[in-house]
Structures are given as structure tokens and as C-alpha cells.
């Protein structure tokens, strides 16, 4: 087995794809009448604005966005998600982002996608990038069975702001490792919300950064990478 001496962490939304996957999934649910269109669309837009402003109440947000998952069996949800991938996500995959991930994978770096968006939405996207390890906010399932239906609740610590540090450290601990075990560590992110984890790695990369993160990166001398113009 290859000894991985470097670690590469990737945010997803507006970092590897030029859109927000959770916001897009919310719109998809509205368009396909999976949720009450008026109230959910209003909440979806407000939560998205709060996230961009750095003032999102992550627990209130997760209560709203995970509740619809409890209304349908997994088979139906999985079918909808395949349609979502085909119609919404796969057309957004950019060669620049795919090449960035491929570069780290080719070097043998341990790669992980870490996102505040829930893992139901994001795990197939990580797979599309060839990233085997994925940390997302975890929707709870009936009796804790990962293959059973969703309850509409969240389990564990959401991977948001400082929660990304906690979840990353817990994942590495499960592998018998810590951040300090790697020669070099990267984290690619677009968001001011990810400054806590960016501060923890040896190579923080502000990727398609929002204005706040761009200014912070410039003041710290961090690398700024503009892969594409986000939408």
C-alpha cells in the first residue's frame, strides 16, 4: 500500500463546482413539487444569503433542508438524485477543477471532500470527481442503518465552520493519523466560513474566493486560485 505523506482537502460549492449544490437541490425539489414551493423556496433563498454573509444558523438550516428527505423512501430519493446529477450537477463539472483533483490523486495524496452540504446531496458529486473520502453534514437514518430511510434530523457535528476542523480531525483519527502526520496539507475553499480550517493547513488556497476570503488571503499571503467564475 502506498504511504500517503500529503493531504488535500477540497470544499465543494463554488470551489470545485461553480454553483451551490444544496441551493440547487432545493430548487430542484421545488421544481419537482417535492416540497411546498412558496415556503421552501423562500427559506432556501434566505439560508443561502445567510451562508454567503457568514451568519448561517446551521442547525435551523439543516432542520429545514433535511425534513423533505424523511417524506420519501430512499429508492425514490435516489432516483431523483440521479436525475439531479444528470440535469444539474454533471453539466457544471469543469475541466480545471477535475484536473486539480486529478493532480493530487496522481501524486498519491490522500484526498477528501469536506462540505457543509449534507452527504445525501454531495457524496455522488465527490464520486464524480474521483474523491473516495467525503465529509458532509450527515442526515440521520432510521435505527442508524445507513441504507434505511432518513428521519429528517442530523446526526453528529455538522461540517460547518469550526465543525469542519472537528470532523476532519475525527476522520483522520479513524485512520490513525492527524494533520501533523503529513508533510504537506492543502485546503481549497471559496468561503469566508472556511477560514478556521484554512488556518490549520500548511497550504491554504483561496479558490474562487468571496470578497471577504480574498481580502483575508491577500493579507496573509495565501495563494489565490481562480479556477472559474462562480455563478
Angle CA 118–121–123, to nearest 5: 90
Q: How many Cα neighbours within 13 Å face the side chain of 54?
A: 12
pLDDT at 176: 95
Distance of CA 48 to the CA centre of its chain: 14
pLDDT at 1: 41
Residues of the chain falling short of pLDDT 70: 1-3, 229-231
CB 162 within 8 A of CB 196: yes
Q: Kindly report the number of other CB atoms within 10 A of residue 189's CB atom.
A: 29
pLDDT at 3: 60
pLDDT at 101: 98
Q: Which residues are catalytic?
A: 11, 13
User: How far, in Å, CA of 34 to CA of 31, rounded?
Assistant: 8
- Contact residues for 88 (Cβ-Cβ < 8 A; gap 6+): 24, 25, 28
Domain at 6-225, CATH homologous superfamily: HAD superfamily/HAD-like (3.40.50.1000)
pLDDT at 230: 54
Q: Model-level pTM greater than 0.85?
A: yes
Tell me the backbone φ, ψ of residue 188, rounded to 5 degrees: -105, 125
Tell me the backbone φ, ψ of residue 3, rounded to 5 degrees: -80, 120
CA distances from 82 to 28, 71, 79, 122, 128 (A): 12, 18, 5, 12, 12
Amino acid at each position: 500500500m502506498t504511504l500517503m505523506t500529503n493531504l488535500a482537502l477540497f470544499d465543494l460549492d463554488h470551489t470545485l463546482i461553480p454553483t451551490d449544490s444544496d441551493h440547487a437541490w432545493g430548487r430542484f425539489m421545488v421544481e419537482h413539487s417535492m416540497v411546498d414551493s412558496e415556503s421552501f423556496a423562500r427559506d432556501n433563498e434566505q439560508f443561502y444569503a445567510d451562508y454567503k454573509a457568514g451568519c448561517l444558523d446551521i442547525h435551523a438550516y439543516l432542520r429545514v433542508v433535511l425534513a423533505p428527505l424523511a417524506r420519501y423512501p430512499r429508492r425514490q430519493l435516489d432516483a431523483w438524485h440521479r436525475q439531479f446529477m444528470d440535469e444539474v450537477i454533471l453539466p457544471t463539472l469543469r475541466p480545471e477543477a477535475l484536473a486539480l483533483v486529478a493532480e493530487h490523486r496522481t501524486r498519491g495524496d490522500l484526498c477528501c471532500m469536506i462540505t457543509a452540504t449534507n452527504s445525501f446531496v454531495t457524496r455522488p458529486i465527490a464520486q464524480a470527481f474521483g474523491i473516495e473520502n467525503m465529509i458532509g453534514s450527515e442526515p440521520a437514518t432510521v435505527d442508524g442503518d445507513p441504507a434505511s430511510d432518513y428521519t429528517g434530523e442530523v446526526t453528529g457535528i455538522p461540517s460547518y465552520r469550526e465543525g469542519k476542523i472537528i470532523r476532519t480531525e475525527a476522520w483522520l483519527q479513524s485512520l490513525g493519523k492527524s494533520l501533523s502526520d503529513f508533510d504537506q496539507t492543502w485546503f481549497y475553499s471559496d468561503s469566508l466560513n472556511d477560514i478556521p480550517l484554512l488556518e490549520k493547513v500548511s497550504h491554504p488556497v483561496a479558490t474562487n474566493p468571496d470578497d471577504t476570503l480574498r481580502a483575508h488571503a491577500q493579507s496573509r499571503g495565501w495563494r489565490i486560485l481562480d479556477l472559474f467564475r462562480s455563478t
